[in-house]
Structure 1
Amino acid sequence: MTSLKISTTEEWLAVLPHQVGHHLAQCVAVMTVTSRALGPVARVDLPPEKYVRQMADGLLDGLLRVKPQAAMLVGYEDVPGESRSMLHAVHHGLQAAGVGIIDHVVVRDGRWWGWCCRPVDELDGLRPDHVDGHALVDDSCVPAAAAFIANGSAPLASRDAVGALVEEDPGLSAGVAEALSAISGSDPVPELWGRLLAPVGERGDAFQVTDQELARMLCSLATKPWRDALVAWMSPVMFPIEKVDEVSRRALDQAVPAGPAGSSDASKIVLRRLLGLARRVPDAFPQEAAAISTLAGCVAWGVGNGSTAADAVTRALRVVPEYLLATFLERMVAYQLRPRHTWPDVAA
């Protein structure tokens, strides 16, 4: 995506659901900025009062690992004051670590209250002329958010809806289960993966595979060098291209003339296709379910989609607790370990 200018609180609030992939409620969210670029977004559900300190410390531990220079804090609540304790704890923790606070915002009933609504240098209280706060604007009216929409972004209704993206859909998985039961061998099938990796064509994103083709793709993931090569082609920030073995590289070079994903936007298209496949894979075939979930998780983490990465890891380790790549990815997500390479590095 091209660079975006975000300068007002209402612009930050309009962009935030597109950053996390869903509309927010009953949580605290923190958007980070480093070197004038958007960094990871962290969110945590509003905890009971007795767990606020523990949850705030956990959130801060992950946030401070990415060394943000500034942060935007937003508390989403249904009842006035619900998010106050958590917001204050995170705010003071970031300040103590030298992180600048862009704004400290509460969102409730379609309205927001930020710095501009409070007495100077106060986190509580409202100025008489700002008691009613400000109405949230339609994100399509905000240029920064409209750019996300133009690139296909459509935030889901809730965090639970995001979790469902990577889980088995029983209405779609029966045919794949039958195909997996009948298959043998684990050929790489680069021609099938090449279809998944192809750029969006003039007719839009029409990627599709049959149950039998998907079964063959899943079986190919049992070969570790091939699986890792696919990670590199889908998300070069997660697995450097130069570490791909020569046999896999030749196969993918031939199957994907456009080359590896060269941008975050291209990788997001791949992620959308992968998630469509993951929902068709039955948990009754744990190795295959763990492999496709972990693949999706790696790509999600590479584009900064922490929610989907965490959900993918959760599914993978639920069906195969010892799946090694998933355990590595779980640590990256838990400790906010960002990829060593960046998308500008890849494009250079």
Structure 2
Amino acid sequence: MTSTEHPRLAVRSPADMLAAVPYLLGFHPADSVVAVALRGRRIIFAARADLPDPSADPVEPARHLARVIHRQGAEAATVIGYGPPDRVTPSVDAVRAALTGAGLDVLDALRVTDGRWWSYLCAEADCCPPEGRRYDPAASQVTATAVFAGQVALPDRAALVAQVSPVDGPSRAVLRAAAVRAEQRMTELVGQAPASDLLGGRALRSAGVAAVRAAQRRQRHGERLDDDEVAWLSLLLTHLPIRDHAWERTDGRDGDIALWTDVFRRAEPELIAAPGALLAFAAWRAGQGALAAVALERTLGLHPAYSLALLLDDLLRRGVPPSDLDGWPSVGMPGVVRPRRRRRRGR
């Protein structure tokens, strides 16, 4: 699910809406059903789901999509199905019915197949001919506006998955050697801790806080962590107090997303849970739900019981907007939510 906290895109026609969708999601959808939520004339949210298998009942997935859209405080929605008509039509019909049942107005329902679009709600041949209308997103003013604003639409979801895929090849062997050195370093750190520091907890906490802050400082200065720094940070993050310290210092800033993407891709598989969850949290805070989703897919694929990843996955699936949990987390004092400082624009 992807919320849209980006510069407004002026959508005046079905073709404009189709040009906007890839920038709302972050990639060009295929074999998908998309619901674009509006409040007044403003697009506030976009949610995508895979088309159900032909033998599957589309009703329950459609109801889930409608619940997610309704949770955003939307007043209306446009439904778009991408793919062959025999798969798109049942899904679009089910989503239309579910949205209407949730009290939302369905402004339009479209099908996109092989570069043409059809409307399920328009029967005017001059507007919506039986053969459909060809459209070219590249020629749309919406596309130009989105690109000028710095928004990106990847070719497909696989390209988004590739952005969080692990580093491999010769670099992986180098990173594995760095991980061994990090383990040796941690053994020495704990072994040298005073007897009063039970299991080296204070020493680990101090080292972890320093590593997190150094990594974020390096990121702010446009510097990439070296292999030993990635290995040391990812190992320290296996300790929950250190993970929580990093979590408290993570928001939806571009730098947060860049840092945790880099660590997530370069960390050893057994150490990706924390950086994967931190990346998902940063992406969710930034309104990049699709990026958060692929980060969580990889994380939970290897660490299915990691609680923070499970929590974030639940928030994404239910379409909970970041504004509902502004100030979260505040793990220092249980039950206390500390407001986040608003960043001044232009700084």
Shorter-chain TM-score above 0.5: yes
Partner residue of 1:212?
Answer: 228
Q: Are 2:55 and 1:50 aligned?
A: yes
**Shift in alpha-carbon separation, 1:93–1:219, aligned structure 2, 3 A:** same
TM-score using structure 2 length: 0.76
Name the SS for the 1:7 alignment partner.
Answer: coil
- 1:271 is aligned, of 251, 257, 260, to 257
Runs of at least 4 residues of structure 1 off by over 4 A? 126-129, 341-345
Aligned length: 300
Partner residue of 1:182?
Answer: 181
**Shift in alpha-carbon separation, 1:155–1:234, aligned structure 2, 3 A:** same
Asked whether the equivalents of residues 197 and 270 of structure 1 are also in contact (C-alpha less than 8 Å), the reply is: no
Name the SS for the 1:337 alignment partner.
Answer: coil
Q: CA RMSD in A?
A: 2.9
**Shift in alpha-carbon separation, 1:69–1:173, aligned structure 2, 3 A:** farther
Q: Which has the higher Rg, Structure 1 or Structure 2?
A: 2
TM-fit CA distance, 1:101: 1.8
Q: Are 2:142 and 1:119 aligned?
A: no
Name the SS for the 2:103 alignment partner.
Answer: coil
Partner residue of 1:314?
Answer: 297
Asked whether the equivalents of residues 18 and 137 of structure 2 are also in contact (C-alpha less than 8 Å), the reply is: no
Distance 1:321 1:161 in 2: 23
Letter matched to residue 178 of structure 2: A
Distance 2:247 2:45 in 1: 21
Partner residue of 2:146?
Answer: 148
**Shift in alpha-carbon separation, 1:170–1:223, aligned structure 2, 3 A:** same
Tell me the percent identity. Answer: 24
Asked whether the equivalents of residues 105 and 115 of structure 1 are also in contact (C-alpha less than 8 Å), the reply is: yes
Name the SS for the 2:20 alignment partner.
Answer: helix
CA deviations on 1:167-211 (whole Å, 9 max, x unpaired) are 32323433222111111345232222222245xxxxxxx542211
Asked whether the equivalents of residues 118 and 128 of structure 2 are also in contact (C-alpha less than 8 Å), the reply is: no
Distance 2:342 2:119 in 1: 38
Partner residue of 1:260?
Answer: none
Q: Are 2:287 and 1:282 aligned?
A: no
CA deviations on 1:201-239 (whole Å, 9 max, x unpaired) are xxxxx542211121233234235454344334431xxxx
Gaps of 5+ in 2: 1-5, 187-203, 328-339
CA deviations on 1:37-71 (whole Å, 9 max, x unpaired) are 43332212222333222322332333333332121
TM-score using structure 1 length: 0.75
Q: Are 2:43 and 1:38 aligned?
A: yes
Gaps of 5+ in 1: 121-125, 199-205, 236-263
Asked whether the equivalents of residues 173 and 279 of structure 1 are also in contact (C-alpha less than 8 Å), the reply is: no
Letter matched to residue 331 of structure 1: D
Letter matched to residue 137 of structure 2: D
Asked whether the equivalents of residues 137 and 143 of structure 2 are also in contact (C-alpha less than 8 Å), the reply is: no
CA deviations on 1:132-174 (whole Å, 9 max, x unpaired) are 33222233x4343323323443322222232232232323433
TM-fit CA distance, 1:332: 0.7
**Shift in alpha-carbon separation, 1:2–1:53, aligned structure 2, 3 A:** closer
Distance 1:73 1:133 in 2: 17
Within a 5 Å distance, the mapping from 1:53-92 to structure 2 comes to 53-77=59-83, 79-92=84-97
- 1:193 is aligned, of 198, 201, 216, to 216
Distance 1:157 1:10 in 2: 18
Name the SS for the 1:44 alignment partner.
Answer: strand
